Chain A
Amino acid sequence: MGESLNERKAFYQELTRKIRILIIIVSFFPMILTTGTLFYRFNLTYTDKIQAHISELVQKHTQNIDTFLLEKLGNIRFVARYFDTIQQTPTEFLQQHLAVLKSEYGDVFTDLGLVNSTGIQFAYEGPFKFENADYSKAEWFVKAKDKPFYISDVFAGLRGHPHFIIAVKVGSNGTDYTLRSTINFGSFNSLVGNIHIGETGIAFIINGKGQLQTKTDVGLHPPIIASMLGLSSDNKNKTVFAKKQDASGNRYLCVISKLKNIDWLMVFRQDIDDAFHDLWKTQMLTLVILVFGCMAILFVAFTLPRNIVTLISSADKKSDVMNKQVIESGKLATIGELAAGIAHEINNPVAIMVEEAGWIEDLLEEEDLNGAENLDEFIRALHQINTQGKRCKEITHKLLSFARKTDSTINDVQINDAVREIVSLTAQMARYNNVAIETKLTQGIPYIRISPSELQQVILNLINNAIDAMEKSGGTIQIETNISKIEKNHLVISIEDNGPGIPKDNLDRIFDPFFTTKAVGKGTGLGLSICYGIIQKMKGKIDVYSQVGIGTKFRIWIPFQEALTEMTDNDTDYHTTDKENRYEEN
């Protein structure tokens, strides 16, 4: 037993493990696959989107700056066209045009100056005193010499703070001059400085040598800027993307775009952490959900199988108990059959013994034994044999009827027919005991599915009890059948006598096994107990109402199926016809 218990325990553990693994595989695989795919695709798409966005922004600003420079150059070239030394002095000319430029474009142009071919600024108009300044050594002058116009890099120059120069060649009276104008660095810087994305996204411009052309808040190491130079593409309309890492390990995004009119690069730089912040937030959320999902699955995988297995094991236990009960009832049936066989076998020898005793009695009457001393004793002994033989008969009959209880084939039974049959069987015995049996059977009671022999046993028992109770006085037994008004879908059989009744003290115990008020050897005390068991098995109810001196009433409720009602409704009308049969006493 213990071994099988252990085996079962092992089986349950194995079952738990299998269910658990199955749950984990079936849940984890699709979840991780789905999450992974979504994660990857989303990442890809979102990265593309961000890059496209930044790229467009940078390109737009590059164009803006290009336009700005072109416009300023155009302005100066326009001014240069009107240069004429004959009508005005150069200073007057500069004064007039700077005023026009300032009124048109605000503070963009700081000053205007005219430089002759030797690099001496012979005319100047502006906030500084740069008349006769010598630019012959200045880088911009050297470079501008051979070109019709030139835009310089940003430099500190004579004034000591960063600016850049637009220089345009003018010719007057066969002499070449250079018209130069200083662009206000602040207004140019703001064009680039306004580009801000996120917290760390900044833009700046570098020249071909990798020198910064705008001011930035962030300290940039020259090598980093130099590395950016290498990235610039030849295609002027395209932006270049790069992901880089600085000395402190910060990863950043770098977008470079080339200006059209000048050898400058527009550079946009943003920390990757910042640029992809939203994406990473989403990714983090996905991961958190994934982790929680996994935890939920694990939780289910550990609790659910345990519960299922607990249920299974309790079901197993129940079926074990059921099996035991089946075996038990099988055993009882076997015992019943055995008892029936024995009872039958004993019955015949007993019958012979009783007959032989009777034969001796018969013979004694004939013999002339009047003088015999022990004649009375002989007769008494023979009577005793007779009496005890009858007692044996009763016991064997009880045993046989007990065995018959196991014959419980279920049939559709019309209760009225069953009652009539039993009444006809007991009529004889009732007649001997001066008892009348009246029946009041309501027509149209539905069929019930029960074992007819069991029902017979119950009713027979109750009738026999009633007859026994009224043995001395005689009386009436009234049997009624009806559809119950108290219990839904039940029929009721009541068996009422007007005998001596049952005392209150006994009333609670009459259904107990072996409880009997009959003389020793007369009753077994099993009759009502068996009845109770049978009615219980039919899912019915039995109750008793008794008053000493007035009578006793037993009522039995047995359930019927609704569907069977209609079958009988058609051919009988069950409210009106109360048929009475009366078996009169002779």
Chain B
Amino acid sequence: MKKIKLLLVDDEKAFLDTITKRLEKREVTVSAVYSGKDALVELENNKTIEAVVLDVKMPGMDGIQTLVEIKKEFPLVEVIMLTGHATVETAIDGMKMGAFDYLMKPCDIDVLVSKVEAAVEKKRQHEEKITEARIREITERRV
């Protein structure tokens, strides 16, 4: 499998740094940013990012707002919500907005990795289908 390119968004620097190191050890390319705004900028600059792990509670632009923006600008990028509270409502809201799944902090690194992998898998399948559709379109046009 191609190396996963992941964007981590969390305002808690210590948490983010450690988890970045741990994920990189597990063959994931990680970019880390500390706010929703930076996340959008990073996504704009680095089109190869396939999935985002997004903290719900952040100062300024919060997780849900960021999620909405990401889904608007980069619809193919899958988002996993990371929440500090067990509020079902927030999770449901996130799912409604198009998040792939949600996780509660602190989470097991292996669970996180498997979720990310599933998300990326979905994204790649999506892209494949889109590519196929395009090819078909092009070939049909030729005929």
Contact = CB atoms under 8 A, between A and B. Distances in A.
Interface string A333-349: 00000001001100110
B139 interface: no
Contact of B84 (A344, A401, A456): A344
A355 B18 contact: yes
Contact of B22 (A359, A404, A456): A359
A421 interface: yes
A359 B14 CA distance: 12
Nearest to A358: B109
B50 to A, nearest CB: 22
Contact of A352 (B14, B107, B109): B14
- Give the interface size class of chain B: 20 to 34
A456 B88 contact: yes
Interface in A358-411: 358-359, 362, 389-390, 393, 397, 400-401, 404
Contacts of B92: 421, 425
Contacts of B68: none
B34 to A, nearest CB: 13
A315 B104 CA distance: 50
Contacts of A404: 87
Contacts of A184: none
- Candidate in A344, A355, A356 with the most chain B CB atoms within 10 angstroms: A355
Nearest to B109: A358
Contact of B85 (A362, A400, A421): A400
B137 interface: no
A351 B103 CA distance: 12
Nearest to B83: A347
B60 to A, nearest CB: 17
Interface in A305-340: 340
Contacts of B105: 347-348, 351, 393
A151 B31 CA distance: 157
B96 to A, nearest CB: 11
Q: DSSP majority for the B interface?
A: helix
Nearest to B11: A348
A344 B89 CA distance: 16
A354 interface: yes
A401 B22 contact: no
Interface in B3-36: 12, 14-15, 18-19, 21-22, 25
A132 B92 CA distance: 154
Interface in A450-479: 453, 456, 460
A453 to B, nearest CB: 7
Interface in B24-61: 25, 57
- Give the interface size class of chain A: 20 to 34
A540 B89 CA distance: 24
B86 interface: yes
B76 to A, nearest CB: 24
B28 to A, nearest CB: 13
A322 to B, nearest CB: 31
Given A358-B109, A390-B106, A348 B15 contact: yes
Interface in B76-104: 84-89, 91-92, 104
A350 interface: yes
A401 B90 CA distance: 13
Contacts of B12: 348, 351-352
A425 B88 CA distance: 8
Contacts of B87: 400, 404
Contacts of B15: 348, 351-352, 355
B25 A453 contact: no
A389 B104 CA distance: 13
Nearest to B107: A351
B17 to A, nearest CB: 9
Nearest to A452: B89
Given A350-B106, A397-B104, A344 B85 contact: yes
Nearest to A456: B88
- Candidate in A348, A359, A390 with the most chain B CB atoms within 10 angstroms: A348
Given A344-B57, A362-B25, A421-B92, A355 B106 contact: yes
A392 B89 CA distance: 22
B106 A393 contact: yes
- Candidate in B88, B104, B105, B106 with the most chain A CB atoms within 10 angstroms: B106
Contact of B88 (A344, A351, A390, A460): A460
A356 B18 contact: yes
B89 A352 contact: no
Contact of A348 (B25, B84, B86, B91): B84
Contacts of A347: 84-85, 105-106
Contacts of B19: 355
A489 to B, nearest CB: 29
Contacts of B106: 347, 350-351, 354-355, 389-390, 393
B107 to A, nearest CB: 8
A37 to B, nearest CB: 77
- Candidate in B84, B88, B92 with the most chain A CB atoms within 10 angstroms: B84
A350 B89 CA distance: 23
A359 B21 contact: yes
A458 B107 CA distance: 25
A352 to B, nearest CB: 5
Given A351-B105, A355-B106, A401 B86 contact: yes
A401 B87 CA distance: 7
Nearest to A453: B89
A359 B18 contact: yes
A421 B95 CA distance: 12
Contacts of B91: 425
A351 B104 CA distance: 10
Nearest to B85: A400
A211 B86 CA distance: 127
Given A348-B12, A425-B92, A397 B18 contact: no
Nearest to B12: A348
B102 to A, nearest CB: 10
9 A-B pairs with least C-beta separation: A351-B106, A397-B86, A354-B106, A355-B18, A351-B105, A352-B15, A347-B84, A400-B85, A352-B14
Given A352-B15, A362-B22, 16 more contacts: A344-B84, A344-B85, A347-B84, A348-B84, A348-B105, A351-B12, A351-B15, A352-B12, A352-B14, A352-B18, A358-B18, A390-B106, A397-B85, A404-B87, A425-B88, A456-B88
Interface of A: 340, 343-344, 347-348, 350-352, 354-356, 358-359, 362, 389-390, 393, 397, 400-401, 404, 421, 425, 453, 456, 460
6 contacts: A344-B84, A351-B105, A358-B109, A362-B25, A425-B88, A425-B91
